[in-house]
Amino acid sequence: MDDPVVVVGIGINVAGVPDRLEPDVRVRSIALACTADGLVAVPRRVPLRLLLLRNLLTRADWLQRTLVGPSGVAALEALWNARLALMGEPVAFLYAGEPMEGVLEAASLEQGLLVRDPRAGPVWRDAALIQDLTQRES
């Protein structure tokens, strides 16, 4: 039998947020052009989407090579934790439908999210049961 294959797709809005998105998705979406604020200089002869694709594929190839082997999961988790925007921040979320809050301390592919609960201390929360994770006012 052939090895299992997983295909992952992502969507990146380059120039703007498409009107055809559902309203609840559209309100939470952003485009690269909205965040660049004129800081990205791109030669007109090369479309931004092609530069973006080249950079994504180069990075994906590097990640694939890095993540192969027994230390791959640990490497992926380290990269993920280093880039989490809400790491160390107060967060609010629904956990199995119940409102909760705390400080996001870590993420794990197997254990979920480590959130420091104000009363119980650090608690691992199953990521599959977390919804609407947002930054909470300090």
Residue at 74 is within a domain: no
Whether residue 63 sits in one domain with residue 88: no
Whether residue 33 sits in one domain with residue 58: yes
- pLDDT tens track for 103-123: 999 999 889 999 999 899 999
What does pLDDT average to over the chain? 82
Longest dimension (CA), the chain: 57
Residue at 75 is within a domain: no
Chain mean position to CA 80:
8
Strand order in the sheet with 98-108: 121-125, 112-117, 98-108, 90-95, 130-135
Please say which residue of 40, 68, 96 terminates a domain: 68
- 110: domain CATH number? 2.30.30.100
Alpha-carbon gap, residue 60 to 125, rounded angstroms: 28
What is the tally of structural domains in the chain? 2
- pLDDT tens track for 55-90: 878 888 888 887 787 788 888 888 888 888 899 999
Of all helices (H) and strands (E), which one includes residue 117?
Answer: strand 112-117
- pLDDT tens track for 33-49: 666 655 555 556 667 67
